[in-house]
Structure 1
C-alpha cells in the first residue's frame, strides 16, 4: 500500500507541518487571520511540493535516461515563491486612514514557506533553528514595541484605535 519512500516523504511533510505550527501559534495568539492552520499548510505544502518535484525529476530521469533534456529543480522553488508571494500579498491591507497592516504576517508566511523548503532538502536542523529564531523575533520585538509604546507594528491595532484609547 505505502512505499517506504512515501512514508519518508510523509515524515518530511509532517516535520514541516510541526515547525509551521510553531510560527502559526504566535499569529493565532496575536489574533491575526493567518494563524496555526495557515502556517501548517504553508510549511507542509512547501515541503510537499519540493518532495513531489524531486520525485518527478527522479521519475523523468529514469524514463528518459538517454535524453538530452535537462530538468531544473530550481523551478519548483520558484513556483513556491510565486505562490507564497501571492498568498502573502493577500494578507496585506492598505487603508489611507489606518495605514498598512499585515506586512509581518506576510513576511512570516514567506519565512514559513522557506522553512518547509529547508525541511524538504534535508536541512531540518537549519529549519528548526530558523523556526525558533523567527518565533523569538515575533514575540520579542512585539513585546519591545509594546513596552516602548510604539505598538505600531503592521499587524497591531490601527493607529486611530490606539489614539482613541489615550
Structure 2
C-alpha cells in the first residue's frame, strides 16, 4: 500500500484546524459555555475536512466522467457548512424569562471556528493562526473591558 501524500496533507490540515479551534474552545470551556472545547474542535476539524475533501471529490467526479451530470461549485460547500454550523450554534442560544439572551457569543465563536477550518483546509495557515488569535483576543479581552465599563463581570450579565 502506497502512502497518498494528499491524504497526509488533509490529515495534517484537519489536525491543525482541530488544535487551533481547540484553543478557542478552551476559552469557551473555561467560561462554562454550552459549546466548549470538544464542540469547537469538532467544528473546526470537520469544516477543514469537508473543504479539504472537495478537491478529491471534484477529481473523482471528473475521472469517472460524471462532469456533465455534476457541476463543481465550491461555494455550495461553504454555504452548506455555514448553514450546518449555524444550526448547531442556534442550539446554544437561550432566551431567558427576563428577555435576556445567552449564548450568542458561543454561537458566533462556532462560526469563527468554521472559518479557522476553512482557512486551514485552503493551506492558509497564517490566516488560520491569525484569526485564532483574534477570536481569543475578542473573547478574553473584550469581555473583561466590557465588565470594567459596565461594572459587571460577564457571569453576572444576562447577555453572554
The TM-score normalised by the length of structure 1 is 0.86
- Cα drift, residue 33 of structure 1: 1.9
Q: Which has the larger radius of gyration?
A: 1
CA RMSD of aligned residues (A): 1.9
Unaligned runs of 5+ in 1: 160-166
Cα distance change, pair 71–136 in 1 and its aligned pair in 2 (3 A): same
Q: Distance in 2 between the 1:149 and 1:55 partners?
A: 51
Q: 1:58-77: per-residue Cα shift (whole Å, max 9, x none)? A: 11122228747531111111
- Cα drift, residue 150 of structure 1: 4.5
Q: Distance in 2 between the 1:41 and 1:60 partners?
A: 27
- Cα drift, residue 134 of structure 1: 0.7
Paired position in structure 2 for 1:112: 113
Question: Given that residues 61 and 67 in structure 2 are in contact (C-alpha distance below 8 angstroms), is that contact kept between their aligned partners in structure 1?
Answer: no
Q: Distance in 2 between the 1:66 and 1:135 partners?
A: 42
Unaligned runs of 5+ in 2: none
For these two proteins, the number of residue pairs brought into alignment is 157
The TM-score normalised by the length of structure 2 is 0.89
SS of the residue 2:95 aligns to:
strand
Q: Distance in 1 between the 2:78 and 2:132 partners?
A: 19
